[in-house]
Amino acid sequence: MALDPAIAARLKRTPDGLVPAIVQQYDTGEVLMLAWMDDEALHRTLTTGLGTYWSRSRREYWVKGATSGNVQHVKSVSLDCDGDTVLVKVDQTGGACHTGDRTCFDAGLIGP
């Protein structure tokens, strides 16, 4: 199976075929991380209900929590108005960041 053609047609991808995915805790609105998806990663996320992404550094798919146990159970997936960003609302088990922290955005403010 492949990504629904109607969804695929709405996506505006980077030259390497990716769209950024903002991952947010569904019930609190907490922004957990930013990841990248291609059509296959989005298809896998939609069909399995688990956050699945494309690793640009390792050049492979990864299911969030497959090795750490910090799984993302997907509650909803939305496309922004321009079709160039996906919002994935999840129920995060444990930390979302590769450092083990709850969110990737806790390194401190850098501006007002």
pLDDT digits (tens, 9 = 90+) for 10-34: 999 999 999 999 999 999 999 999 9
pLDDT single digits (tens) 30-51: 999 999 999 999 999 999 999 9
In a domain, 32, yes or no: yes
Distance CA(39)–CA(30), nearest Å, equals: 25
In a domain, 21, yes or no: yes
**Domain membership of residue 77 as a residue range:** 5-92
In a domain, 75, yes or no: yes
In a domain, 98, yes or no: no
